Amino acid sequence: MSVDIQEKAEEILIEGFCILRDQFPKSALEACNEAFAPILRDYVAENAENPNRGPYRHYITLPFEPPLYSPYFFDDDAVIAIASRVLGEDFAIDQYASDTPLKGSVYQEIHGDVGPLFHENPDFQHPPAILAVNFPFIDVTPAHGPFEVARGTHLFPKAEALRRIEDGDIPLEPLLMNAGDVLIRDPRCLHRGTPNHTDTPRPVAVFACLRGWMQRESRERNPMPEYVWTGLSEREKRVMRKLPRESSTS
């Protein structure tokens, strides 16, 4: 099914996000879920006492290696066209990670994921500089702790957006996404994680697309192995040009 790029780009600008249904092959996500299980197990073994995203909720960087790296995710025509339409064709990816609530996780505070672009004017309205591309490794039901979003809140000063949510003017909507669905969102659009009531971890991957002129120092990333870099398409090399690469001698 072809995606209307202009419509999806406008949805991001107006609503703060868009969803592409059945965009990635389910089998690729099943492979990710399987490969992620030992990564999560080892991470939790070390960090269970210090969860970095609230109780029983973990943000874990992902390796740029198959199956967690796949051209299905990073060389997708529609995702690249939408990101290019919103951010410009010179956009670059600077992050690849996952968010996983486990049983025992709780509602997060409502938040955005990025700070202001201009510190002296934090409420300055500007088009998106960053987009987050999210995709779950499992089918997410209400019991798995779906991501909740408050539509259109990237367009208000944060205090006003929070007040409107609190007053019930803007609802928090759970996004029930299946493995294969893709969420492309403006990370300023307010949202929160919700409790996972099941025994099944709910991993959702995220990669961030930045305008070509932007640079963030703070992101922890896994370096890309040289053999993966060599196998990338020219388009992937362009969008992944700013990611760290493993040195061939290490």
Ligand X SMILES: O=C(O)CCC(=O)C(=O)O
Distance CA 250, CA 246 (A): 7
User: Which residues, including other chains, have CB under 8 Å from residue 20's CB and lie 6 or more apart?
Assistant: 3, 8, 78, 79, 181, 182, 184
Q: Is 204 in the site for ligand X (CB under 6 A)?
A: yes
Q: 56 vs 239, which CB is nearer to ligand X?
A: 56
Cα–Cα distance between 160 and 220 in angstroms, integer?
31
Among 51, 58, 191, 201, contact with ligand X (rule: CB under 6 A) = 191
* 159 CB-near residues (< 8 Å, 6+ apart): none
**Does residue 137 interact with ligand X by CB under 6 A?**
no
Least distance in Å: CB of 119 to ligand X? 21
Q: Which is nearer to ligand X, 80 or 110 (CB)?
A: 110
What are the residue ranges of helices labelled H in 109-179? 158-166
* Number of shown-chain residues binding ligand X (CB under 6 A): 9
Distance CA 56, CA 205 (A): 17
- Among 76, 94, 99, 181, the residue binding ligand X under the rule CB under 6 A is 99
Q: Which is nearer to ligand X, 84 or 141 (CB)?
A: 141
Q: Residue 197 interacts with ligand X (CB under 6 A)?
A: no
- 58 and 40 in contact (C-beta within 8 Å)? yes
The runs of H, that is alpha helices, within the chain are 5-15, 26-47, 71-74, 77-87, 158-166, 226-231, 234-239
| Interface pattern 16-55 for ligand X (x via CB under 6 A) | -------------------------------------x--
Shortest Å distance, C-beta 204 to ligand X: 5
DSSP E strand boundaries for 74-203: 92-101, 130-136, 148-149, 173-174, 182-185, 191-192
Residue placing its CB nearer to ligand X in the complex, 29 or 204: 204
Our CB check for ligand X shows the closer of 3 and 138 to be 138
Q: Which of 129, 235, 241, 139 is nearest to 186 (CA)?
A: 129
Q: Does 193 bind ligand X (CB under 6 A)?
A: yes
- The residue within the footprint of ligand X, chosen from 135, 147, 156, 207 (CB under 6 A), is 147
For the CB of residue 152, give the shortest distance to ligand X in the complex, in Å.
Answer: 17
Residue ranges that bind ligand X, judged by CB under 6 A: 53, 59, 99, 108, 113, 147, 191, 193, 204
